[in-house]
A and B are shown apart, each in its own frame.
Chain A
Amino acid sequence: MMRLLPAFVMVLVAILSLTEAKVLAAGRLWNLYQEGESSFRQANDLLQTDPARARLLFERAVLCFEAVHREGGIENGRLCYNIGNVYFRLGHMGKAILNYRRAERFIPHDLNLQQNLSYARSRLADRIEPKPETQVLRTIFFWHYDLGGTVRAWLLAAAAGFFWLAVGISLLLRRSWLRYLTVFYALVCLLLAGSVALDAYEQAYIHPGVILEGEVIGRKGDSTTFEPSFKEPLHMGVEFKLVEARQGWFHIELTDGRRCWIPASAAELI
Chain B
Amino acid sequence: MKRGGISDPQARSGIMRGRLTAVAAIAVFVPVLSLLAGADSGRWAPVTGAAWAATTGGLSAQALVEKDTVAVGEPFLLQIRIEGSDLAPGTDPPELSGMADFAVEYFGGQSNNSSSITIVNGRMSKVETYGYVYSFRLTARKTGSLEIPAVTVPLDSASTKTVRTRPIPIRVVPPEASDDFHLELKFSKTSFYVGEPVVLSVVWYLRKDVESVTFNVPFLQDEAFTFVDPRVDQDPKKQYFQLQVGGAGVLAEKGTGSYHGREYTTLSFRKVIFARKPGSFQTPEATAASKALAGYPGRQQRRNPFDRFFDDDLFSPGRRALYRTFVSRAEPVVLTVLPLPEEGKPPTFAGWVGRFQVEASASPREVSVGDPITLTLSVSGTEYLDKVELPPLSRDAAIDRDFKVPEEMAAGVVRGTVKEFTQTLRPKTAEVRAVPAIKLPFFNPESGRYEIAESRPIPLTVKTARILTSADVEGKSGETGVRQSELETWSQGIAHNYEGPEVLERQIFRISVIVASPAWLAVMVVPFLAFVSLLVYTRVRQRQTADPDRMRSRKAFARFRKRVGELEEEGSQGRDGCGLLLDAVRVYLGDKLRLNGTTLTFADIEERLVAAGIAGGLRERLRGLFTACEQGSYGGMGLHRPFEELVKEAMAVIRSLDRVV
How would residues 106 to 135 of chain A score, 1 for a CB under 8 Å from any chain B CB and 0 otherwise? Answer: 100001100110011001010000000000
Q: A63-B89, A158-B523, A164-B531 are in contact. Are A153 and B507 (CB under 8 A)?
A: no
B32 is an interface residue with CB less than 8 A from chain A? no
Residues of chain A lying within 8 A (CB to CB) of residue B413: 125
Let me know if B124 and A13 touch, CB within 8 A.
Answer: yes
Of B411, B501, B502, B527, which contacts A165 at CB under 8 A?
B527
Question: Would you give the shortest CB distance from A17 to chain B, in whole angstroms?
Answer: 7
B258 is an interface residue with CB less than 8 A from chain A? no
Of A32, A79, A119, A200, which contacts B89 at CB under 8 A?
A32
Residues of chain B lying within 8 A (CB to CB) of residue A68: 504
A268 is an interface residue with CB less than 8 A from chain B? no
Question: Would you give the shortest CB distance from B111 to chain A, in whole angstroms?
Answer: 8
Let me know if A112 and B495 touch, CB within 8 A.
Answer: yes
Residues of chain A lying within 8 A (CB to CB) of residue B526: 161
CA distance A195 to B492 in the complex (A): 34
Q: Which of B520-568 contact A (CB under 8 A)?
A: 520, 523-524, 526-528, 530-531, 534-535, 538
Closest chain B residue to A153, Cβ basis: B514
Let me know if B523 and A33 touch, CB within 8 A.
Answer: no
Of B157, B234, B411, which contacts A228 at CB under 8 A?
B234
CA distance A77 to B502 in the complex (A): 10
- Most chain B CB neighbours (cut-off 10 Å) among A30, A64, A72, A150: A150
Residues of chain B lying within 8 A (CB to CB) of residue A88: 494
Interface of chain A: mostly helix, strand, loop or mixed: helix
Report how many residues on chain A are interfacial, defined by Cβ distance under 8 Å. Answer: 75
A143 is an interface residue with CB less than 8 A from chain B? no
Of B502, B523, B530, which contacts A168 at CB under 8 A?
B530
Let me know if B494 and A116 touch, CB within 8 A.
Answer: yes
A157 is an interface residue with CB less than 8 A from chain B? yes
In this complex, the interface size class of chain B, counting residues with CB under 8 Å from chain A, is 35 or more
Q: A76-B504, A76-B506, A77-B507 are in contact. Are A64 and B89 (CB under 8 A)?
A: yes
Q: Which of A222-261 contact B (CB under 8 A)?
A: 224-228, 232
Let me know if B492 and A153 touch, CB within 8 A.
Answer: no
- Most chain B CB neighbours (cut-off 10 Å) among A40, A196, A224, A228: A224
Residues of chain A lying within 8 A (CB to CB) of residue B114: none
Let me know if A196 and B515 touch, CB within 8 A.
Answer: yes
Let me know if B495 and A115 touch, CB within 8 A.
Answer: yes
Let me know if A60 and B506 touch, CB within 8 A.
Answer: no
Let me know if A153 and B520 touch, CB within 8 A.
Answer: yes
Q: A76-B504, A119-B492, A203-B510 are in contact. Are A153 and B534 (CB under 8 A)?
A: no
Interface-lining segment among B96-104, B236-244, B620-628: B236-244
Of A77, A160, A232, which contacts B524 at CB under 8 A?
A160
Residues of chain A lying within 8 A (CB to CB) of residue B126: 17
Let me know if B515 and A67 touch, CB within 8 A.
Answer: no
Question: Would you give the shortest CB distance from B318 to chain A, in whole angstroms?
Answer: 26
CA distance A78 to B512 in the complex (A): 22
Let me know if B504 and A149 touch, CB within 8 A.
Answer: no
Q: A76-B503, A203-B512 are in contact. Are A81 and B498 (CB under 8 A)?
A: yes
Q: A14-B124, A112-B495, A164-B530 are in contact. Are A76 and B236 (CB under 8 A)?
A: no
CA distance A103 to B152 in the complex (A): 40
CA distance A234 to B534 in the complex (A): 62
Residues of chain A lying within 8 A (CB to CB) of residue B90: 39, 56, 59-60, 63-64
Let me know if B496 and A112 touch, CB within 8 A.
Answer: yes
How would residues 100 to 135 of chain B score, 1 for a CB under 8 Å from any chain A CB and 0 otherwise? Answer: 000000000000000000000010101000000000
B303 is an interface residue with CB less than 8 A from chain A? no
CA distance A216 to B46 in the complex (A): 40
B40 is an interface residue with CB less than 8 A from chain A? no
Let me know if A76 and B505 touch, CB within 8 A.
Answer: yes
How would residues 45 to 57 of chain A score, 1 for a CB under 8 Å from any chain B CB and 0 otherwise? Answer: 0000000000010
Let me know if A75 and B506 touch, CB within 8 A.
Answer: yes
Number of A-B contacts (CB under 8 A): 151
Closest chain B residue to A157, Cβ basis: B523
CA distance A3 to B524 in the complex (A): 43
Q: A168-B530, A168-B534 are in contact. Are A203 and B236 (CB under 8 A)?
A: no
Closest chain B residue to A200, Cβ basis: B511
Of B411, B512, B515, B528, which contacts A123 at CB under 8 A?
B411
A154 is an interface residue with CB less than 8 A from chain B? yes
Let me know if A74 and B504 touch, CB within 8 A.
Answer: yes
A2 is an interface residue with CB less than 8 A from chain B? no
- Most chain A CB neighbours (cut-off 10 Å) among B492, B505, B526: B505
Residues of chain B lying within 8 A (CB to CB) of residue A111: 495
Q: Which of B374-403 contact A (CB under 8 A)?
A: none
B493 is an interface residue with CB less than 8 A from chain A? yes
Q: A81-B498, A112-B496 are in contact. Are A149 and B506 (CB under 8 A)?
A: no
Residues of chain B lying within 8 A (CB to CB) of residue A123: 410-411
CA distance A74 to B157 in the complex (A): 24
Question: Would you give the shortest CB distance from B282 to chain A, in whole angstroms?
Answer: 28
Of B234, B497, B509, B530, which contacts A150 at CB under 8 A?
B509
CA distance A30 to B501 in the complex (A): 8
How would residues 626 to 654 of chain B score, 1 for a CB under 8 Å from any chain A CB and 0 otherwise? Answer: 00000000000000000000000000000
Question: Would you give the shortest CB distance from B489 to chain A, in whole angstroms?
Answer: 10
B466 is an interface residue with CB less than 8 A from chain A? no
Q: A40-B497, A64-B89, A116-B495 are in contact. Are A78 and B523 (CB under 8 A)?
A: no
CA distance A74 to B501 in the complex (A): 12
Let me know if B497 and A76 touch, CB within 8 A.
Answer: no
How would residues 146 to 174 of chain A score, 1 for a CB under 8 Å from any chain B CB and 0 otherwise? Answer: 00011001101110110111011001100
Closest chain B residue to A125, Cβ basis: B413
Closest chain B residue to A41, Cβ basis: B497
Let me know if B509 and A106 touch, CB within 8 A.
Answer: yes
CA distance A149 to B528 in the complex (A): 23
B480 is an interface residue with CB less than 8 A from chain A? no
CA distance A172 to B534 in the complex (A): 9
Let me know if B511 and A196 touch, CB within 8 A.
Answer: yes
Question: Would you give the shortest CB distance from B146 to chain A, in whole angstroms?
Answer: 33
Residues of chain A lying within 8 A (CB to CB) of residue B499: 37
B491 is an interface residue with CB less than 8 A from chain A? yes
B416 is an interface residue with CB less than 8 A from chain A? yes
Let me know if A10 and B416 touch, CB within 8 A.
Answer: no
8 A-B pairs (CB sep. < 8 Å) = A26-B504, A33-B503, A76-B505, A125-B415, A160-B528, A168-B530, A225-B239, A225-B240
By a beta-carbon cutoff of 8 Å, the part of chain B in contact with chain A is: 89-90, 122, 124, 126, 157, 234, 236, 239-240, 242, 410-411, 413-416, 491-499, 501-512, 514-515, 520, 523-524, 526-528, 530-531, 534-535, 538
Excluding A115-B494, A224-B240, 10 further A-B contacts by CB distance (< 8 Å) are: A30-B504, A74-B504, A78-B502, A78-B503, A79-B504, A91-B411, A125-B415, A153-B520, A156-B524, A161-B524
Ranked 9 nearest A-B pairs via Cβ: A112-B495, A78-B498, A60-B90, A63-B89, A164-B527, A157-B523, A105-B509, A161-B527, A164-B531
